[in-house]
Amino acid sequence: MEHRTAVPPPGRRTGLPLGNILGFPVHLSWSVLLLAALVTLLYGQFGGYLVGFGFVVCLLGSVLLHELGHALSARRFGIGVRGITLEILGGYTEMDRDAPSPRVELLVALAGPAVSLVVGVAAVAVTVPLPAGTAAYQVVFLVALANIIVAFFNVLPGLPLDGGRALRAAVWAATGSQVRGTLVAARSGQGVGVLTAVGAVVLYGTGVLGEFGLIFMLLVAFTLWQGAATSARMARVQQQVPLIDVDELTRPIVAVPSGTPLGEAQRRAAASGDARAVLAVSDSSGRLIALVSSRAAEAVPQARRPWVPVDTVARDLGSLRSVPAGLRGPQALAYLQSDPAGEYLVRAGDQVIGVLRANDVARLLRSRGTRGGGR
């Protein structure tokens, strides 16, 4: 159970939409249906299928409350929330930006486990008047147990758990570096994953866990390790992010009228004196209408270029993605990651001012990674 950061434009969320709850779109991953069927069937062999199904429904409700804790806390601090997704191993709240300070990061991270703990304690209180052994008692008891376990497991100090977010906030506050906090919390998360796997094997060996419990816990351990590794990898990329400046990487445009021979268009581009210039096509009024594909242009034999109209190797501007001018650092990287493409039109309002190529950004990041690789 975690919260993730995303940036516009929004991606297409998969799964079953459950509607809006408190203003947050909620989706149910299809993998949850598999887990629901497994738990219902397995528990049905011991406590009855109705109890198993009731437990799944209550558990999903508890996970939703946990994520609503994150979402409401984020909204309280002015962080936009795209939505909540319930998955096979919990859920996540998708936010449109990172927390602005360690304090906000800490409070948003701990809001989920706090809700789970409250739900668990409340469920314990509900079991008191219920007759022991009844279906209602079993379901409520299991919900109480699950929420208390979730609350304490989620505060373990390692990403992608909420406790890892809290650890990151602490290191961030102490060192002034969010990236360093992420790296420390990610390494700790990998350690938590290893300990979870070892603990699962030990409990299985002593008979405390059955085969299903062992497989489930190993899946949790693998998910923790993978999530922590991804966080560490992204943190290393963020160390290079300050170099990204959309305006500096923007290639200038040399526009030629529609119908211009390709050879003449390339001569004009070369005459501009900027080897980075990108060819574009304009209409009779001078308005840009298409962008020349350098790959398609190079595929035209040299002897034919004086006779081939530049329009035949150009793409309509409407088919190209755009990026706003002025983006820098993490904001620029996040925007490009959220809407990947080979090249973008750089726009200032409605005006196209140049072209940004993804390989220019990748080249910049690789060169920084090579220079900083020994640190």
Find all residues with CB under 8 Å of 211, minimum gap 6, and list them.
204
What dihedral do alpha carbons 227, 230, 236, 240 form, nearest 10°? -130
Q: What is the pLDDT of residues 211-269, one digit of tens each?
A: 877 887 898 899 899 989 988 887 877 776 666 788 999 999 999 999 999 999 999 99
State the average pLDDT for the chain. 85
pLDDT for 334 equals 75
Residues 286 and 340 in one domain: yes
Mean pLDDT of 60-73: 92
Find all residues with CB under 8 Å of 164, minimum gap 6, and list them.
156, 157, 158, 185, 186, 188, 189, 192, 228, 231
Residues 221 and 126 in one domain: yes
Residues 197 and 270 in one domain: no
Residues 299 and 325 in one domain: yes
Residues 218 and 259 in one domain: no
Domain boundary, last residue among 214, 241, 268:
241
- Look at residues 48, 280, 76 and name the one whose alpha carbon lies nearest to residue 142: 48
Mean pLDDT of 323-339: 80
Residues 307 and 181 in one domain: no
What dihedral do alpha carbons 310, 312, 314, 320 form, nearest 10°? 160
Structure tokens at 194: 């290893």
pLDDT for 97 equals 74
Residues 6 and 81 in one domain: yes
Q: Which of 104-108, 177-181, 346-350 holds the top average pLDDT?
A: 104-108
Domain boundary, last residue among 226, 241, 256:
241
pLDDT at 318 over 60: yes
pLDDT at 172 over 90: yes
pLDDT for 25 equals 93
Range of the domain at 129: 2-241
DSSP for 80-120 reads -EEEEEEETTEEEEEESS--SSHHHHHHHHHHHHHHHHHHH
Give CA–CA dist 164/184, Å, rounded.
9
Residues 237 and 259 in one domain: no
Q: Would you give the DSSP letter of residue 1?
A: -
Residues 222 and 254 in one domain: no
101: β partners: none
- Look at residues 175, 184, 154 and name the one whose alpha carbon lies nearest to residue 62: 154
pLDDT at 157 over 80: yes
Greater confidence (225 vs 375) lies with 225
Mean pLDDT of 184-194: 95
User: What percentage of the chain has pLDDT greater than the value 70?
Assistant: 88
279: β partners: 254
Residues 154 and 295 in one domain: no
Cα 131 to its chain centre, rounded Å, is 45
pLDDT for 312 equals 95
pLDDT for 14 equals 60
Whole-prediction pTM value? 0.66
Question: Burial of 307 by CB count in 10 Å (0-12 exposed, 13-18 middle, 19+ buried)?
Answer: exposed
Residues 71 and 172 in one domain: yes
Q: How confident is the model at residue 95 (pLDDT cuts 50, 70, 90)?
A: confident
Residues 117 and 138 in one domain: yes
Domain boundary, last residue among 241, 263, 292:
241
Q: What is the pLDDT of residues 355-374, one digit of tens each?
A: 999 999 888 877 755 444 43
How many domains are there within the chain?
2
94: β partners: 4, 83
Mean pLDDT of 310-316: 95
pLDDT for 374 equals 37
CATH number at residue 328: 3.10.580.10
pLDDT for 361 equals 87
